[in-house]
Amino acid sequence: MNMATKAAIETPTPLGAGNSRTSKASERIKMRARQVKVHYGDTEALHGIDLDIHENEVVAFIGPSGCGKSTFLRCLNRMNDTIPGCRVEGRVQLDESDIYDPSLDVVLLRAQVGIVFQKPNPFPKSIYENIAYGPRLHGLARRRSELDDIVEGSLRRAGLWEEVKDRLDQPGTGLSGGQQQRLCIARTIAVSPEVILMDEPCSALDPIATAKVEQLIDELSDSYTIVMVTHNMQQAARVADRTAFFHMGDLVEVDTTDQIFTNPSDQRTHDYITGRFG
C-alpha cells in the first residue's frame, strides 16, 4: 500500500484505549519459544517465532486467518503432534525444560499446559463425567469426595455451577453452546494446569456467551497463564495484557496491548488493526 492512499484514510480511533484491566503478570518467564518453525509437508507455516510468555499474564495472538497463530498456539502443548505430516523445529521451553525433548512425556506436558478449542467439544458423557475425566485420568483424586470437590470447584470457577448443579448426570452435549464452552474450560481447569491455551474460544458463541467467557478469562488470569488466539481485535483489547500480531507465518510484533492498538511500531500491524486487511 502506498503512502498516498494511506494518508487519505482517516486515522482510526485506537482500539486499545479502553483496556482497563490491571495486569497480574509477574516477571517470571513461564514459556519461552525460540526460532519455532512448523512445516506441513513441504510448506513452511511458521518461519521462526521468538516469544516469551510471563507467568500469570494473558497473551492474545491476533492476525489474519492463515497467519499461523493457531499453529503456534498448538506448538505450546504439542497438539501439532496429532496432525499427520506436521513437523516442528526450534525450541519451546516450559519453566526451563524443553518440551520437544524426546525424554519429555507429552502426557505430563498436556496436564501442565491445557487447551480449550474453538468449537466446544464436550465428551458424550454426563456433565460430571466431563469434568471428572481429567482428574481421574491423572489420578488427582483419591476418593470420591475429593473428586466431587474438584468437579464443584471447577464448575464454580467456570461460573457454571449454579446453572448445572441440579443436572450433573445429564449429558454435556445437551447444554447450550456458551455453557458447553464453559464446561470445556471447567474440564481443563479441573486438571489445574499451569498454562491454559485457548484457540478462538468465543468464535462459535453469541455475544452474551462471549461476554461471560471473557469475564471468566479475566478471573482465571489470577492464577493461570493464559494464551489465547482470537480473531476479534476488540476481544484482545479487552482481555489481554500483551498482544502478539502474526502475519504470513511471522511474528510481526509483540507488545503491551495498549501499545499494539494505539501505537504499533510496524506498518503491517497498523494496517491490520485499522481494518485495511484481514
Partner 1 sequence: MTPTSASVDHSRRRDLIEASLKRRHARERRFRRLGLGAVILGMGLVAILFASILMRGVPAFWQATFTLDVHFDPEVIRVEAKPERGPGESEADFRERHLAWQGQVGMVNWQQLLDRALMAELGEVEARQARDLRALIASGERFALRDRFIEDPDLLGQTRSLKLLASANVDVWLKGNIDRSLPDHQQQLSAQTRAWADALHDRGVITNAFSTALFLNPDSRSSLASAGLAGAFMGSLFMMLVVILLAVPLGVASAIYLEEFAPRNRLTDLIEININNLAAVPSIVFGLLGAAIFIGYLGLPLSAPLVGGLVLTLMTLPTIIIATRAALRSIPGSIRQAALGIGASRVQTVFHHVLPLALPGILTGSILGVAQALGETAPLLLIGMNAFVANVPGTPLEQSTALPVQIYLWQGNELRNFFEARTSAAIIVLLGLMLSLNALAIWLRKRFETRW
Partner 2 sequence: MNNLVLIASVLCVMALAYQVGLTRSRALAQGPRRLHSRPGYYGVLVALWCGLPALGLLLLWSLLGPQLVEQLVIRQLPPEVLALGEREFATFMRRAAALAAGNRVSSGGSEAELAAAAHLARLDSLGRLILVAAMAVVAVAGLVHARGRVSPSLRARNQVERVIMVALAMSSAVAILTTVGIVLSMLGEALNFFRFVSPLDFFLGTTWNPRFSTSGTDSQGEFGLLPLLWGTLMVSGIALLVAIPVGLMTAIYMAEYAPPWLRNVAKPVIEVLAGIPTIVYGFFALIVIGPFLSDLGDLIGISIRTTSALTAGLVMGIMIIPFVSSLSDDIITQVPKALRDGALGLGATKSETIRQVVLPAALPGIVGAFLLAASRAIGETMIVVLAAGNNPVLHGNPFEAVSTITVTIVNQLTGDMDFASPQSLVAFALGLTLFVITLGLNVIALLVVRKYRQQYE
Q: Which is nearer to partner 1, 49 or 111 (CB)?
A: 111
* 137 forms part of the interface with partner 2 (CB under 8 A): yes
Round to whole Å and give the CA distance between 270 and 234: 15
Residue choice 84, 102, 139, 207 for contact with partner 1 (CB under 8 A): 139
Give per-residue burial for 4-19: e unless 16+ CB within 10 Å, then b.
eeeeeeeeeebbbeeb
Strand, helix or coil for residue 189 = helix
Count residues contacting partner 1 (CB under 8 A)? 16
Q: Which is nearer to partner 1, 24 or 37 (CB)?
A: 24
232 binds, among partner 2, partner 1, none (CB under 5 to 8 A by kind): none
Round to whole Å and give the CA distance between 60 and 227: 6
Least Å from the CB of residue 166 to partner 1: 30
Is 196 in contact with 189 (CB distance < 8 Å)?
Answer: yes
Round to whole Å and give the CA distance between 134 and 87: 27
Torsion (CA) 170, 175, 184, 158 in degrees, nearest 10: -90
* 151 forms part of the interface with partner 2 (CB under 8 A): no
* 81 forms part of the interface with partner 1 (CB under 8 A): no
Residue choice 33, 49, 115, 175 for contact with partner 2 (CB under 8 A): 115
Applying CB under 8 A, the span of 79-87, 104-112, 121-129, 269-277 interacting with partner 1 comes to: 104-112
Least Å from the CB of residue 217 to partner 2: 17
Strand, helix or coil for residue 97 = strand
Count residues contacting partner 2 (CB under 8 A)? 27
Least Å from the CB of residue 110 to partner 2: 4
* 104 forms part of the interface with partner 1 (CB under 8 A): no
* 223 forms part of the interface with partner 1 (CB under 8 A): yes
* 128 forms part of the interface with partner 2 (CB under 8 A): no
Strand, helix or coil for residue 226 = strand
Instruction: Choose among 108, 50, 109, 44: nearest CA to 77.
Output: 109
The CB-based long-range contact list for 47-50 (8 Å cut-off, 24+ gap) reads: 47/249, 47/250, 48/90, 48/250, 49/90, 49/250, 49/251, 50/251
Strand, helix or coil for residue 105 = coil
C-alpha cell at 53: 510468555
Least Å from the CB of residue 66 to partner 2: 19
Is 224 in contact with 157 (CB distance < 8 Å)?
Answer: no
Q: Which is nearer to partner 2, 52 or 81 (CB)?
A: 81
Residue choice 26, 35, 215, 267 for contact with partner 1 (CB under 8 A): 26
Contact positions vs partner 1 (CB under 8 A): 26, 28, 55-56, 105, 107-108, 111-112, 138-140, 192, 194, 222-223
